[in-house]
């Protein structure tokens, strides 16, 4: 299968679903990561342009560990709005990847880039199936299942499916540590150690399903996107 994540910022996947991606990869599936925003607002000292370049490199390093294809920074941070321009850009990513599963943010996530990414991903994945919805890439894809990844710290998110990532945790941590520029930022801006933050949530999700570390998901349950069997590893 082709697995496509559509996330807002360069470290969102590593925080919330990288263990599952490692599992998919080890089972022989292909992974593509679309990171819609360029991460250019996440620092106190480094200015936008330079920061976007740094964060692109960090994302590429992390994707390399996973052997994933990536698309980074289609919009600046806080510059992704729910409109046709945004949908069209994401339609072209979807048409390029031709995914079998999409993982994105929950519509009730905590900040606007995440919320808009989730909404645009849902809309774009529908538009991408329509032959008469014309974008740069002249092809149409199938309607596929969408899963919402967990929300930071698990607030307001009750998973309905769990993936045991106990064995994948070391790789998930290595991927997250690629995002070095965020270490001081999240410490100073949010008062968190991002590795501990990620592990705490994985531990809680693990406790909930009887393993050491897990990731939680909710499926977007709408007509046309549901399968009669489990899709997550």
Choices 12-20, 79-87, 185-193, 205-213 (CB under 5 A): range interacting with Zn ion? 12-20
Q: Least CB distance from residue 114 to Zn ion, whole Å?
A: 6
Q: Which of 3, 12, 201, 225 binds Zn ion (CB under 5 A)?
A: 12
Return the exposure string of 127-158: e unless at least 16 CB atoms fall within 10 Å of the residue's CB, then b: bbbeeeeebeeeebbeebbbbbbbbbebeebe
Choices 3-11, 71-79, 94-102, 141-149 (CB under 5 A): range interacting with Zn ion? 3-11
Q: Which of 8, 13, 52, 121 binds Zn ion (CB under 5 A)?
A: 8
Choices 7-15, 64-72, 92-100, 123-131 (CB under 5 A): range interacting with Zn ion? 7-15
How many residues of this chain bind Zn ion (CB under 5 A)?
A: 3
Q: Which residue has the tokens 């995914």?
A: 99
Q: Least CB distance from residue 12 to Zn ion, whole Å?
A: 4
Q: How is residue 99 written in tokens?
A: 């995914």
Applying CB under 5 A, does 9 fall inside the site for Zn ion? yes
Choices 10-18, 85-93, 192-200, 208-216 (CB under 5 A): range interacting with Zn ion? 10-18
Q: Least CB distance from residue 149 to Zn ion, whole Å?
A: 11
Applying CB under 5 A, does 109 fall inside the site for Zn ion? no
Kindly report the backbone phi and psi dihedral angles of residue 117, in degrees, each rounded to the nearest multiple of 5, phi listed first: -60, -45
**End-to-end Cα distance, the chain:** 12
Q: Which is nearer to Zn ion, 9 or 56 (CB)?
A: 9
Cα 151–57–200 angle (5° rounding)?
30
How far is the C-alpha of 92 from the C-alpha of 119, rounded, in Å?
16
Applying CB under 5 A, does 15 fall inside the site for Zn ion? no
Provide the 3-class DSSP secondary structure of residue 7. Answer: strand
Return the CA Rg of the chain: 17
Binding site for Zn ion (CB under 5 A): 8-9, 12
């Amino acid at each position: 299968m082709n697995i496509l994540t559509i996330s807002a910022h360069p470290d969102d996947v590593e925080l919330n679903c990288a263990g599952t991606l490692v599992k998919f990869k080890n089972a022989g599936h292909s992974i593509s990561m679309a990171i819609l925003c360029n991460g250019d607002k996440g620092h106190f000292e480094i200015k936008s342009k330079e920061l976007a370049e740094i964060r692109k490199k960090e994302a590429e390093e992390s994707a390399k560990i996973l052997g994933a294809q990536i698309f980074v920074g289609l919009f600046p941070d806080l510059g992704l709005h729910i409109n046709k321009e945004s949908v069209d850009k994401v339609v072209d990513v979807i048409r390029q990847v031709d995914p079998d599963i999409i993982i994105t943010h929950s519509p009730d996530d905590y900040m606007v880039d995440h919320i808009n990414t989730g909404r645009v991903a849902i809309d774009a994945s529908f538009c991408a199936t329509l032959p008469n919805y014309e974008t740069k890439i002249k092809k149409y894809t199938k309607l596929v299942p969408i899963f919402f990844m967990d929300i930071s710290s698990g607030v307001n998110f009750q998973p309905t499916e769990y993936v045991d990532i106990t064995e994948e945790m070391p790789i998930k941590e290595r991927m997250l540590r690629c995002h070095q520029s965020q270490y001081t930022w999240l410490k100073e801006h949010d008062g968190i150690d991002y590795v501990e933050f990620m592990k705490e949530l994985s531990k809680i999700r693990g406790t909930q399903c009887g393993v050491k570390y897990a990731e939680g998901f909710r499926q977007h349950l709408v007509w046309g996107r549901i399968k009669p069997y489990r899709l997550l590893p």
